[in-house]
Amino acid sequence: MLLALAAVRRSSCSRTTEVIAVDQRSDGNRPLFEKDGFVAWTANVPGSRGRYLALFNTRDRSPLDAPPPAGSADLAGAEVRVALAELGLPARCRVRDLWTHDTLSSAERELVAVVPWHGARLYRLSPEG
């Protein structure tokens, strides 16, 4: 996760406590997948059953006269789906966007995120209940 977050450190968002905690306090950091131009890293949230999830989109935006790539949500980015079971999480989790500081809708069975072209997203997922 440390290598995956190198770009995050250069961002002004990395000054937040939540993002710094991912870098300095997470453990069990590992790649989850690299496929179809998407990369995902995950890490444990110490003292909790939660997981951090970093998603990266290495895809180029389609030319304007070409159809968007499969799974594309719109021109803002591409949709990435991650099954909660792949993270060792139960079927329903709370989702927090660590860069925007927003608590999002709960994820059921999978997290669906639109990741900007050549962009990234960083989440904390916490089991409900």
CA distance 112 to 59: 17
- Provide the whole-model pTM: 0.79
**Block residue for tokens 């870098």:** 23
* The predicted structure's pLDDT at residue 96: 96
Place 24 in a pLDDT band, splitting at 50, 70 and 90: confident
Task: Evaluate whether 92 touches 106 at the Cβ level (below 8 Å).
Answer: yes
Would you call 23 helix, strand, or coil by DSSP? Answer: helix
Closest alpha carbon to 37 in 99, 122, 123, 120: 120
Residue percentage of the chain with pLDDT more than 70 = 78
- Average pLDDT of the segment spanning 98-117: 94
pLDDT tens sequence across 56-99:
999 987 655 566 555 545 678 999 999 999 999 999 999 999 98
Architecture per CATH, domain 6-127, reads as: Sandwich (2.60)
Domain ranges of the chain: 6-127
